[in-house]
Amino acid sequence: MNSRATTRVAGIQAVKALLVAWQRGLRTKPRDRTRVLCDSDTIVECAAKSGAVYRYRVASDPIARERAYRFAHKVYSGVSLAQDDGIGMVVSPYDAGSETITLLAEDENGGTVGTVSLVFDSDKGLPCDEVFWVETERMRAGRHAMAEVTRLALRKDCLDSRDVLLRLFNLIYIYARRVRGYTDFVIEVHPRHLKYYERAFCFEKLSDAQRCPRVGGAPAVLGRVDLTMPDHKARWASGRTLFPLFWSKTGEPALADAMARAWRPMTTREARYFGM
């Protein structure tokens, strides 16, 4: 083989090698830059796809809780979903529940970029019972242990909002399953947003649209996801779910332990402060 032919073959092989490496990169999860912390209420910090680092904490004191409630009010007011109650916070009696947990996501400057709360079913019920009591009673009859995903809010100008949403859902999933042993999430969402939750987190529609007084009378449907579904089904239910991007199962115990240690219920004094 002459030198020109040899050079041509080598060039083709190099191109093939680059193509294989590129395809392998598409199938491989990015290197996980996660650090589990036990610093006060901060439980974990991790890098988003952009490279920016976000910290996730449990809101277990009055200052952190108020930050979450005011942040949600600001976000909801921007889309006309918050009621003008004069206090500038999205807060309810369920926040004083003995198991309710609220998470905050912060950027590298300490600014709030996201929040979410979990209300666990009890003898006081769930917020969604007000509108969807038929569906929730049916689930209770089937012995489903439900936790309602509430007050989910993300900062509109956050470039990594998808990553923040992913991590918040990942954390509440770990907390509900590993710490509390619950079996199902339920969530009230606008009908046009349900498809996203179905695709991203395997939620299923449980109800027709109803007017929800907690978001200014906007329409809402009830969605539900089975947290006990087999891992392979949850992660590969469709090619577009976000489950493959969750932290590995081996990393869940440390995160569950960090959240369990950081969580503290609202005190009676705090409840009075927040008007409950």
**What average pLDDT is seen over the chain?**
84
Rg (CA), the chain: 22
Domain boundaries, the chain: 29-273
Q: Give the mean pLDDT of 191-213.
A: 90
Question: Could you report the per-residue pLDDT of 106-131, keeping only the tens digit for each?
Answer: 999 999 999 999 999 999 999 999 99
Q: For position 37, what pLDDT does the model report?
A: 76
Q: For position 231, what pLDDT does the model report?
A: 63
pLDDT tier for residue 187 given thresholds of 50, 70 and 90: very high
Angle at alpha carbon of residue 229, lines to 224 and 235, rounded to 5°: 95
pTM of the model: 0.84
97, 140 Cβ separation under 8 angstroms: no
pLDDT tier for residue 216 given thresholds of 50, 70 and 90: confident
User: Could you give the 3-state DSSP secondary structure of residue 239?
Assistant: coil
Residue 92 has pLDDT above 50, yes or no: yes
Residue 28 has pLDDT above 60, yes or no: no
Amino acid at 42: T
Question: 35 vs 103, 173, 210, 225, 248, CA distance in Å?
Answer: 17, 18, 42, 28, 13
240, 196 Cβ separation under 8 angstroms: no
Question: 196 vs 5, 172, 203, CA distance in Å?
Answer: 53, 18, 9
Tell me how far apart the alpha carbons of residues 158 and 164 are, in angstroms, rounded to a whole number. 9
Q: For position 178, what pLDDT does the model report?
A: 94
Residue 217 has pLDDT above 70, yes or no: yes
Q: For the domain covering 29-273, report its CATH number.
A: 3.40.630.30
Which residue, among 101, 104, 114, has the nearest Cα to 149 in the 3D structure?
101
pLDDT tier for residue 84 given thresholds of 50, 70 and 90: low
Structure tokens at 111: 């600014």
Identify any residues that bridge with 34 across adjacent strands, giving them in sequence order: 46
